[in-house]
Structure 1
Amino acid sequence: MYRSEPVSAPRLRLLGQFRLEYDTEAVELCMNAQRLLAFVGLRGHVSRTVLAGTLWPDVTEEHARGSLRTALCKLPGQERALLHCNRDSMSIADCVTVDAHALAETALSVVRATGTPDDRPALAVLRDCGDLLPGWDEDWVLLERERLRQLRLHALDAVAESLARAGCHALALEAALASVRIEPLRESAHRAVVSAHLAEGNVIEAVRHYRAFQRLLREELGLEPSHRFARMIPPTDSSPPITAR
């Protein structure tokens, strides 16, 4: 479909799916053009040698550089302006917003915070974003996906702790459960869930969640929760004693 000059800055969405859009209008690109934009978008600036060798690792350097030139040619004319190219390198244009960078910046701002900022906007970003380029299994994607996943998990832990200190227990629980959904075997997220329940006086909910995690850990890894976690749980008349190895 013909598109006139874009009315807003282009957005490169890499979380949840690949999508290049202006306003709400998506641009269809072939797979190699998507890979090219995604890699340069994530790196910001990269040499042509690294770019060609990473995207086409199983061919000669000459062949890889030829594939890179072909991928560039397959970008529609207007989309070529998204990349600044010179003889030795490429970079993403300043006008392009990349959602993976926004996620990383949000996560880093949370984990670096020393005060008590309002974490509710950060919670929405961290909770609602998807994984980086799901279904793409190239090494450069897997490494970046894991980096962003770890940043997101640590940020959600920090948000849960900050919101709990501020007395926002429901939101703290939301942050902790979002972390649990991403990585069900991560103990720190489960501790945050239990901490939020205890802060509201919901002891039974805390015990129930602890025991569910305990069963999961036994079934999946043959392990027990840490002593630190076990000590968080007060004894109840209706439950056997909490134990940990």
Structure 2
Amino acid sequence: MRSVSPPQLRLLGQFRLELGTGTVELCRNGQRLLAFLGLRGRASRTVLAGTLWPEVTEEHARGSLRTTLWKLPRGEPPLIGCCGDALLVTPALRVDVHVLARTALDLVEDRGPSFRARPPLELLTGEDLLPGWDEDWVAVERERLRQLRLHALDTLAEALIRQGRTALAMEAAWAGVRAEPLRESAHRAIVSVHLAEGNLSEAVRHYDAFRRLLNEELGVAPSPRFARMLPERLPERTAPRGRDRLLRDCLRGRFR
């Protein structure tokens, strides 16, 4: 007997619902409803109506919710079920955001697989949550995932340094810098990689570029913790001017 693939909801990048072997097209309201419940798991009808249709009366919003539910594709089990006044997605629905969150939390909490064979760099550096959607509830979830990814990248870089996999550690650290150019922990990871490889001049050059960027943008200096990583400072002239400008441009995020 041929097995049927579980339904999948992709919210990282463009919205996509996959049922069986094909992609199902939904109206905009259907996408919003399924995305909200896919992220939250369950919500009351009142919360759903007020969040998804905030510009109309409660009666109108509840009517729009009923219409949207009626237009969703039928299936067994149904994509959305009810429990009293609450609506909830079927447990069979696989949501890519939850895979990302579990992977990132496993890294941060040092649990689950060690990722020694294949670090999840592609997952941690993938697309944002529903780019182009400007609803407040999407923005909140997008920022939550961004912060979770950044913490996971920091942790992954540190773990890869301890394993001696400095090239992959550098990839993880630079991914964090590209996502947030002023985030010190990602820059500390880059300097740690240089030091692990014995490249003191590279470490000093990166620290100096970040120090100047931080001063220009925020008027502050790197933390004492960062400064203590470099007990022996080298002259800044060790870096050719053109290369130094290129590094500073990268730190500003111009090549993101």
| Identity percentage of aligned residues | 65
State the alpha-carbon separation in 1 of the partners of residues 205 and 143 from structure 2: 30
Does the aligned pair in 2 maintain the 1:7–1:22 contact within 8 Å? no
What's the secondary structure of 1:12's corresponding residue?
A: strand
* Superposition deviation, residue 215 in structure 1: 2.9
Partner of 1:170: 167
Amino acid at match of 1:177: W
Does the aligned pair in 1 maintain the 2:106–2:112 contact within 8 Å? no
Amino acid at match of 1:14: L
The answer as to 2:65 corresponding to 1:40 is no
Question: Unmatched 5+ residue regions in structure 2?
Answer: 239-256
Does the aligned pair in 1 maintain the 2:79–2:93 contact within 8 Å? yes
Partner of 2:6: 9
Does the aligned pair in 2 maintain the 1:116–1:162 contact within 8 Å? no
> Alignment partner for residue 123 of structure 1, among 117, 121, 129?
121
State the alpha-carbon separation in 2 of the partners of residues 211 and 24 from structure 1: 53
State the alpha-carbon separation in 2 of the partners of residues 173 and 23 from structure 1: 39
What's the secondary structure of 2:120's corresponding residue?
A: helix
Deviations 1:115-154 (A, max 9, x none): 9923543333212x21111111211111111111111111
> Alignment partner for residue 192 of structure 1, among 189, 198, 219?
189
Deviations 1:31-60 (A, max 9, x none): 111000000000111111111111112222
Does the aligned pair in 1 maintain the 2:11–2:96 contact within 8 Å? yes
> Alignment partner for residue 18 of structure 2, among 21, 26, 42?
21
State the alpha-carbon separation in 2 of the partners of residues 7 and 115 from structure 1: 28
Query: Which stretch shows the higher mean deviation, 87-96 or 208-217?
Result: 208-217
Partner of 1:155: 152
The answer as to 2:193 corresponding to 1:201 is no
Give TM-score scaled by structure 1 length. 0.87
> Alignment partner for residue 178 of structure 2, among 165, 178, 181?
181
Partner of 2:215: 218
Q: 1:133 to 1:97 in 2, by over 3 A?
A: same
* Superposition deviation, residue 197 in structure 1: 1.0
Does the aligned pair in 1 maintain the 2:77–2:90 contact within 8 Å? no
Deviations 1:69-94 (A, max 9, x none): 12112223349921113451111112
Partner of 2:248: none
Amino acid at match of 1:11: Q
Query: Which stretch shows the higher mean deviation, 84-93 or 170-179?
Result: 84-93
Does the aligned pair in 2 maintain the 1:15–1:132 contact within 8 Å? yes
Partner of 1:243: none
Matching of residues 53-64 of structure 1 within 5 Å: 53-64=50-61
Question: Unmatched 5+ residue regions in structure 1?
Answer: 241-245
Partner of 2:227: 230
State the alpha-carbon separation in 2 of the partners of residues 13 and 222 from structure 1: 41
The answer as to 2:143 corresponding to 1:146 is yes
* Superposition deviation, residue 63 in structure 1: 1.2
Number of equivalent positions: 235
Q: 1:6 to 1:104 in 2, by over 3 A?
A: same
Does the aligned pair in 2 maintain the 1:6–1:22 contact within 8 Å? no
Partner of 2:103: 106
State the alpha-carbon separation in 1 of the partners of residues 47 and 28 from structure 2: 19
